[in-house]
Structure 1
Amino acid sequence: MNRVDDGSPLADLLDERRALVALAHRMLGSADDAESAVDECYRRWYAMSDPERERVPVPAAWLVGSVEGICEDRLAVPGFERLTDSVPDLPVVTRPPATEPATLRRHDAVVHAVRRACLAADQDLLLPLLAPDATAWFDGGGKIRTLVAPVHGRDRVARGLLRLLDRRPHTTLTPHSVNGPTGLVVRHEGRVVAVLSLEVSGAEAVRVWVVVNPDKLRSWNAGPRP
């Protein structure tokens, strides 16, 4: 499947953003202006349609060129000011109640089983834990190059999760309360970089929400977490 279908590993996406911010910082000399330039770059990326993005042969090269162009445009304006327009967030998804709510014990069992399958990077273990019509949402807030549209179907959800959570050194995946029920928290070098919440029906996850938007993860990194 193509990259629009399966996405990219989270560690690669984090490295990508850090590299772009470093490039913009070198050009503009300001951390705030660098973040603003990179946000504008991603805004332009998401302003394109899926077919337009898919025609970009090397997204990383496109992003570098875009950041360089944005920085050069700003440097060409005497006394330029940092943009104040915020990057629009992805639409908020309202979670409908499951038709067959799982008991707390069953919910936790499914979440822990999903964690084991993801740690093992084993699609055969993960597939039976997902409902055939499972749906996943990946919220990057326009600041991380995640999948834009919801992913539907057991196979595509499994591929998307395993692709995003492709493990790297110094990365952990641990169970943790997420707005009440048990979810999964991804840490990279000690910082929370993703939070997953699952809606379970019976013995299957029917909906998965993956938040990688740095703005929404600030509270997770604001103080000590277990």
Structure 2
Amino acid sequence: MNRVDDGPPLAELLDERRHLVALAHRMLGSADDAESAVDECYRRWYALSDRERERIPVPLTWLSAGVDRICRVRRALPQPEGAAHAVRPTVPDTIVARPRTPEPTTLRQHDAVVHAVRRALLAADADLLLPLLAPDATAFFDGGGKIRTLVAPVHGRDRVARGLLSLLDRSPHTTLAAHSVNGRTGLVVRHGRRVVAVLSLDVSGAEAVGVWVVVNLDKLRSWNAGHRP
């Protein structure tokens, strides 16, 4: 199922960011400065064109080298007080219209589809997942520029299934549970006790027509502080 354009597993992406933050922390000696340096490196990653990113065989190597350069520059050029934490441009959220739901869907139908999608993802079974997705289903991935996830929306039942199964490739400490998300039943992914992704689904009849995957660390802070959006 896995292909280059399906994106790497979420556990791998989280390990990648932890590695980069640890590298920056060793060089800068400050947790806040380390996070800032890593965010800057990811902004440079997303500033590349799709073709440029595709030509990078090992993204972690490129990102590690980028963090190293950023940290060296910051150490060599002391910034004025407050500059290290100044607000910098971020990768803007993609603004898209939610797919229309031409077929009325009851709360019971919605919940049934969400729970069925959960079972398919837990089983990592494409044959179970595909019939739950509309042929023209679309998945949107919001990483907020702070984690290396897919940039463009993914269209079509097959690609959405591959993208979700790749992203949620199970690790021993990962759980997937149904929770209320924005007033409707959605899915929450935890790695250990920490929420690392939240999924909401647009359902039409017995199929999901849209899947919204939030892995943006900023947007997950409320979940990890014990608050539910």
In the TM superposition, 1:11-160 aligns within 5 A as 11-79=11-79, 81-84=83-86, 85-160=88-163
Asked whether the 8 Å contact 2:121–2:168 carries over to 1, the reply is yes
Please, what TM-score do these two structures have when normalized by structure 1? 0.95
Letter in 2 for 1:153: G
How large is the Cα RMSD of the aligned pairs? 1.4
The residue aligned with 1:200 is 203
Please state how far the C-alpha of 1:76 moved relative to its aligned partner.
1.1
Structure 1: segments with no counterpart, 5+ residues: none
> How many residues align structurally?
224
> C-alpha offsets along residues 59-102 of structure 1, whole Å, 9 cap, x if unaligned?
11000000001001111113564152142332233324411131
Please state how far the C-alpha of 1:104 moved relative to its aligned partner.
0.6
Please state how far the C-alpha of 1:41 moved relative to its aligned partner.
0.4
Please state how far the C-alpha of 1:2 moved relative to its aligned partner.
4.1
Q: 1: CA distance between counterparts of 2:49 and 2:224?
A: 33
Structure 2: segments with no counterpart, 5+ residues: none
Q: Greater CA deviation, 60-69 or 100-109?
A: 100-109
Q: 2: CA distance between counterparts of 1:79 and 1:89?
A: 26
Provide the identity percentage: 76
> C-alpha offsets along residues 23-57 of structure 1, whole Å, 9 cap, x if unaligned?
00000011111000000000000001111100001
Letter in 1 for 2:75: L
Please, what TM-score do these two structures have when normalized by structure 2? 0.94
> C-alpha offsets along residues 101-143 of structure 1, whole Å, 9 cap, x if unaligned?
3111111110000000000000111000000000000000000
Q: 1: CA distance between counterparts of 2:191 and 2:137?
A: 27
Residue 145 (structure 2) pairs with residue 162 (structure 1) = no
Please state how far the C-alpha of 1:181 moved relative to its aligned partner.
1.1
In the TM superposition, 1:170-185 aligns within 5 A as 170-185=173-188
